Amino acid sequence: MGTMSTLPLEDLPNSTVFTLSGINASRESRYVFFCITFLYYLVIIAVNLIIIVTVALRKPLHEPMYVFLCNLCLNGLYGTLGFYPKFLYDLLSDVHEISRSGCFVQVFVIYSAVLCDFSTLTVMSYDRSVAICRPLEYHTVMTGGTVFKLIVFSWFLPISIMFLTLVLSSGVTLCGSHIEKLYCENWAVVKMTCTSNLAINVLGYLVIVTYFGHVMFILFSYVKLIKTSLKSAANRSKFIQTCTPHLLSLINVTVASLFDMMYSRYGSRDFPQGLRHFLALEFLIVPPLLNPLIYGLKLSKVRNEVLKHVICYIVKF
């Protein structure tokens, strides 16, 4: 027992505490990073809340497309909540640690949010497909009940997947405790397992197949959308106005997630630390801010209602 206590933390089997990679900078530099990150996080919260509140309060936006946009912004707030508060705390601390339970909670929140982004964008592609390809049936198909079911689907599937992932991960014995990231990541935990992780690998492949199915559905929807939009100027206008922000958001989330996946599996310590941190954080930095901005700036109806809401709020005060 005395010998075990002298071992370094990373050599202790099944450690209850993980160490995270901190920012290798002076205390003064970390204070600067803290201020920039804190302000950026406030901007993310503000921009997403503006969209959510505007959609909720403005009747002209009580349509399926804007409800799904509201869901996308809500998910952005949920996902960033899993990272920024802990990261801001770590910037002011010299010890970058997280408990095993805290690590699993962070993994659950961050990666269920990423999967929810994909599910929501898939649902939005279905909505656009019905709106442009079957306009006369749109209000019959996209009823309040259908919209509710699609939103439940966009949350239930990612949460179920991450719950199963954590159930399988939490039962394994770990032979390490250091995570080469600024936050907890499931693949990093899986790589530290001392025993076979076949069940986790099988689940991982099932997740890949499931979300590959999402991608194929989106591609199929866009093939139909493009064919239909070529038939008339009105359809082309509707496609450009409502599908362009969706495509930009989809590319944004996909590229960010691929950065994270490629870095997690093939990232090298030979990369400069700043580049490594950016690759690891890109999907937590760009999509949560860019998604509401893309829709807020591109969709004139959202932009106008946001301006009306902000002006009314200013006049009241």
DSSP string for 227-282: HHHTT-HHHHHHHHHHHHHHHHHHHHHHHHHHHHHHHHHH--TTS-HHHHHHHHHH
pLDDT at 13 over 60: no
Strand partners, 193: 174
Mean pLDDT (the chain, rounded): 83
Angle between helix 273-285 and 233-266 (nearest 10):
140
Is 170:115 a contact under the CB 8 Å cutoff? no
Where b means 16+ CB within 10 Å and e means fewer, 41-77 reads beebbebbebbbebbeebeebebbbbbbbbbbbbbbb
Instruction: Tell me the per-residue pLDDT of 164-189, one tens digit each, with 9 for 90 and over.
Output: 988 888 777 777 788 878 888 877 77
Length of the chain: 317
Instruction: Tell me the per-residue pLDDT of 71-108, one tens digit each, with 9 for 90 and over.
Output: 999 999 999 999 999 999 988 888 788 888 899 899 99
pLDDT at 292 over 80: yes
Average pLDDT over residues 238-242: 83
* Domains (range + CATH), the chain: 12-316 (1.20.1070.10)
- Looking at residue 315, its pLDDT comes to 65
Count CA atoms within 13 Å of residue 220 on its CB side. Answer: 10
More confident: 17 or 221: 221
pLDDT at 195 over 80: no
- Looking at residue 123, its pLDDT comes to 95
pLDDT-based confidence at residue 272 (cuts at 50, 70, 90): low
Structure tokens at 293: 């901005």
Placement of tokens 């032979």 in the chain:
175
How many Å apart are CA 25 and CA 33, to the nearest integer?
10
Helices and strands counted in the chain (H then E): 13, 3
pLDDT at 273 over 70: no
- Looking at residue 190, its pLDDT comes to 77
pLDDT at 5 over 60: no
pLDDT at 156 over 90: yes
Phi, psi for residue 164 in degrees, rounded to 5:
-65, -40
Strand partners, 262: none
